[in-house]
Structure 1
Amino acid sequence: MKNKVTIFIALAALLAGCSTTTEITSSWRKPNATADNFDHIFVAALTTNIAAKQAVENGIQEKLQEQGIKVDKSLDAFPPDFNNNNAQRKDLVLSRIQGTGSDGILTIALLKEDTETHYRPGMGMWNPGLRYGYYNSFWNYYNNWYPSLYDPGYYDETKVYYLETNLYNAKTEQLIWTAQSKTYDPTSINSFLKGYLKTIQEQMVKDGLIKPTAAITASK
């Protein structure tokens, strides 16, 4: 738990910048779950860092409201003085959530932070897929790479954040949908949100959990 909290704090403290890349690594949907099942969703970012929690929950609220879905946030249901003892009482937590009238609960958890290291050649780019180019001739291969042997390359590092987004039935508590994603080198909580929210929204539409924005607009 400590690691998750620390990662969220680090993510919230980064400098401002443009949107970053988020990609879905896997997703699963319970059979027969459709967009018609959820009109009111309770959103909970699982972190004690208030700044990160507020940014994530507000961002998801905005995206879901674009789909015509009513949203309640954990920050409103559980104020900052809602202490750890209360947060671990199942009856109290569920009664607060169900009291909002939500039919779904969407949770967001940052699973881990990792660092990917890549070697950048001094000249050119190594690509073993080019086997039908200069790879077929010794001289062409030698002549292509020889000059770069004396131009030292370098290693660079990329921060990668792995997140899990789950949707539960608010009444039965059963898992309805889950998606794992990874985000590369977010420069700020805002840049992270731009990439993450767009990707998650598109995946939820793709998996049939929410309707496309165009469909909502056309029905009005």
Structure 2
Amino acid sequence: MWSRVVILLVCLVSLNGCATSAFQQAWVAPDAQAHPLGKTVAFAMLASEADRRRAEDLFAQVLAPAMDVTAAYGVVGEAPPDRDALAKARAKARELGYGSALVLRPVSSRDEVIYRPGPGYMFAPGWGYYGRHGFIGHPFMMDPGYYQKVRVVVVELSLYALAGDHLLWSTNAEVVDSAELEGVVRRLADGMIKDLLAKGLLP
């Protein structure tokens, strides 16, 4: 259903630049600061194995300045197909010395029609043409734009302390399905770092 993830964050990313955190509806456990993250393993629950591995590598790369993150495919091998398998994979990561797990999981999708405005064009003074009523100037013209059908996907991003399999932080984000996997992951990871810092989960 969802072979590639996207990167236009539609809902939970601040559009006015005034918020201190990128995710506006993130949940954090009351005792989250009492659980050290240690080394983190990143799981991307995507249908395509190539996308899954690329996404996990990107999370490790983007989060590296703030967290010690490793791609799950190098730790547990094949992608866990469901929640039970994911729980077993997290347990295996704990046995290997990892302290936390980051999980990206698509939870739902829907089709929407969106309007994409066209670019505006400015012309030099006097630009125009002669019509029946004399000279008609056009200092500004606007492309009318177009409507496009897109797939909107809700993704869940969660951070677990592997000791006790304790959920520390979680958020949902709406993204527009596309082939821009790298952009999606980079924005999600960047938003995650900002939110974890704002909530005191990172030093």
TM class by smaller structure? 0.5 to 0.7
Distance 2:73 2:106 in 1: 17
Matched length: 166
Kindly indicate which of the two structures has a greater share of residues assigned to strand. Answer: 2
Taking the TM superposition and a 5 Å limit, the aligned residue runs for 1:140-155 are 155=147
Give the AA of the match of 2:72: S
1:56-99 CA-partner distances (Å, limit 9, x unpaired) = 111111222211x322322012224x8869x7396x53542112
Deviations 1:74-126 (A, max 9, x none): 2012224x8869x7396x535421123111111110112223324689xxxxx
Is 1:104 aligned with 2:103?
A: no
Q: 1:166 to 1:89 in 2, by over 3 A?
A: closer
* Conserved? CA contact 1:20–1:194, under 8 Å: no
Q: Which runs of 5+ in 1 are unaligned?
A: 1-5, 13-18, 122-151, 212-220
Which residue in the other structure is 1:181 paired with? 173
Q: Which residue of 2 aligns with 1:201?
A: 193
Q: How far off is 1:36 after superposition?
A: 7.0
Gaps of 5+ in 2: 14-22, 118-143
Bigger proportion of residues as helix: 1
RMSD between aligned alpha carbons? 3.3
SS in structure 2 at match of 1:37: coil
When the two structures are superposed, what TM-score results if normalisation uses the length of structure 1? 0.62
1: CA distance, partners of 2:36 / 2:162 = 11
Q: Is the 8 A contact 2:150 2:176 kept in 1?
A: yes
- For residues 115 and 83 of structure 1, what CA distance do their matches in structure 2 show? 27
Please give the residue correspondences for 1:1-220 in structure 2 after superposition, counting only pairs within 5 Å.
6-7=1-2, 9-11=3-5, 20-21=8-9, 23=13, 24=23, 26-34=25-33, 37-67=36-66, 69-80=67-78, 88=85, 93-118=89-114, 155-184=147-176, 186-211=178-203
Q: For 1:184-206, what per-residue CA distance to the aligned partner results, in whole angstroms no more than 9, with x for missing partners?
A: 35442122223222222222222
What's the % identity of the aligned pairs? 17
Q: TM-score, normalised by structure 2?
A: 0.66
Seen in structure 2, the aligned counterparts of structure 1 residues 104 and 89 have a Cα distance that, compared at 3 Å, is: closer
